[in-house]
Chains A and B, each alone.
Chain A
Amino acid sequence: MRPALALTALVSMIVATTATAHAMDPVRLEVKDHHFTPDHFTVPAGQRFVIELTNHDDTVDEFESYDLKFEKIVVAGGTISVHAGPLHPGTYKFFDDYHPDSATGTVTVTEAP
């Protein structure tokens, strides 16, 4: 279908031309037995950052956070990265939407020095 092609071309163009830059190294998390390790980390306020999540379970998970505004599928054995921030100081929750009872974690955002 023509509109689909045009749209894909447009989106790919935007993807190709926009640069990304982050002040911090990615925060690395793992999920195993439906628990995050670590299940808590700290980032400075007012900065964008990347979370890299590796799934060591044999099920597909959906890494999600309403507070941090991301939602991404991570297949068994896969690694994904999501972007978040800039955030105000406070505590923010994230979870695996497919195992929300066990796989949860928090981010503490502290005032930047």
Chain B
Amino acid sequence: MLGSLLIVFREVMEAGLIVGIVLAATQGIPHRGRWVAGGIGAGIAGAGIVAIFAGALSQALSGNGQDVFSATILCLAVVMLGWHIVWMARHGREMARDMKAVGAEVASGNRSLLAMAVVVAVAVLREGMEVVLFLYGIAISSGTGPVPMLIGGILGVFAGAALSWALYRGLVVIPLNRLFAVTGLLVTFLAAGMASQAAALLANDDLLPALGYDIWDSSWLLSDGSMLGRAAKALIGYSDRPTGIQILAWICTCVVLTVTGHLVRHRTPAKPRGAA
């Protein structure tokens, strides 16, 4: 039971950290709960569908289907996080200044919420597929003790969700005028980490040049296999022995998102009018 709890918890934790950040980053945008919940629901449904086709997916694109699929949805999430950063650059000031007098743009922040719902869906889909396949494997196994293992798995889901909630509650303790600066940074690192994971997946299948292996080895300090290492991977794309392309993708994403955010912020008047 403990074994399956840990396996499921690890996967749910990785998605949960992302959901926690999204919840904090969308603090104060009306109806965000609905969108985040929709993202989680879509992610779970998607995970089930992808799990059914897992066999076909592995055979697709000469055996690289799984990695190309993961890399594609990760890139989609990166674009959506970028979209959120641009949106916050336009409206974040307005939101942080006076929550009660938010403009109509913010009140109908549906486009930014759609982007974040996609990010949540991608996170839940990626990790959820592994949970679904794992629990399905237990459910159909004729071996001993599928019930305790299933219970362990379900407890793992709850533990992961609790961690996600704790991260969110921990973040929103930050005063609102500082919160968006912090979540902006977290979202940027999240996007950079996703871009570098996508690059790692494609480079591992030799679909992208690796640009050097084992650029550093920090496994003595924080191993990819440890719980903390996995959390760091989910949050910022940490790898204990990264390839060159991972580092390049990470830096490029950080630079592009930071520069874009600054440009938008400086070109946007304090009280934006017209279509965003």
Binding site for B on A (CB under 8 A): 1, 3-4, 7-8, 10-12, 14-15, 18, 20-21, 48, 58-62, 66-67, 69-70, 72-75, 78, 80-83, 85-86, 88, 97-98, 100-101
B130 touches A18 (CB 8 A): no
A101 touches B3 (CB 8 A): yes
| Given contacts A86-B213, A98-B7, A98-B134, A73 and B66 within 8 Å (CB-CB) | yes
Among B79, B208, B214, the residue within 8 A (CB) of A18 is B208
B214 touches A88 (CB 8 A): yes
Interface flags for B70-91 (1: CB within 8 Å of A; 0: not) read: 0110011001100000000000
B80 contacts which chain A residues (CB < 8 A)?
3
Q: 17 A-B residue contacts at CB 8 Å?
A: A11-B71, A15-B207, A18-B207, A20-B205, A20-B207, A21-B206, A59-B140, A59-B141, A60-B133, A62-B134, A66-B225, A69-B239, A72-B66, A72-B67, A75-B58, A78-B58, A86-B213
Once the chains are docked, how many angstroms separate the CA of A12 from the CA of B207? 10
B268 within 8 A of A: no
Count how many pairs of residues, one from A and one from B, have CB atoms less than 8 Å apart in the complex.
Answer: 97
B64 contacts which chain A residues (CB < 8 A)?
15
Once the chains are docked, how many angstroms separate the CA of A8 from the CA of B239? 25
B205 touches A97 (CB 8 A): no
| Given contacts A60-B133, A74-B58, A66 and B224 within 8 Å (CB-CB) | yes
B106 within 8 A of A: no
Q: How far is the CB of B10 from chain A (nearest CB, A)?
A: 9
For B, the interface residue count at a CB cutoff of 8 angstroms equals 44
Q: How far is the CB of A82 from chain B (nearest CB, A)?
A: 8
B63 within 8 A of A: yes
A98 contacts which chain B residues (CB < 8 A)?
7, 133-134, 137
B223 within 8 A of A: yes
B137 touches A59 (CB 8 A): yes
Q: How far is the CB of B124 from chain A (nearest CB, A)?
A: 17
Once the chains are docked, how many angstroms separate the CA of A20 from the CA of B7? 33
Once the chains are docked, how many angstroms separate the CA of A48 from the CA of B118? 36
Q: How far is the CB of A65 from chain B (nearest CB, A)?
A: 9
CB-CB nearest 3 A-B residue pairs: A66-B225, A59-B137, A75-B55
**Residue of B with least CB distance to A93:** B225
| Given contacts A60-B133, A69-B200, A80 and B63 within 8 Å (CB-CB) | yes
